[in-house]
Amino acid sequence: MNKSVNNTSREYYTTGSVAELCGVSRITVLRWIEKGYLLAFRLPEGHYRIHVSDLNRFLKEYNIPNNRE
């Protein structure tokens, strides 16, 4: 599964990327995940990844501006 990823079109986001997009800290994003507000999956190394559709749902549900556009 070799997919090219660029800054304008991603399929998965890191917690740091989501934090930057939402204007919050990485810790805040981790709390959202822990509380179940934002769906994510954990890699074997312990890092989280957020699918673009889950991020879009979260942004819409919690009225967070989409800074990707």
Assess if CATH 1.10.1660.10 describes domain 12-61: yes
* Long-range contacts of the stretch 60-64 (C-beta < 8 A, 24+): 62/37, 64/22
pTM comes to: 0.81
| Distance (Å, whole) CA 23 – CA 64 | 10
Alpha helices in the chain, H assignment, sequence order: 15-22, 26-35, 52-61
| Distance (Å, whole) CA 17 – CA 62 | 18
| pLDDT at residue 6 is higher than 50 | no
Residue 60's CB: how many other CB atoms inside 10 A? Answer: 10
Give pLDDT tens digits for 19-61: 999 999 999 999 999 999 999 999 999 999 999 999 999 999 9
- Domain ranges for the chain, please list them: 12-61
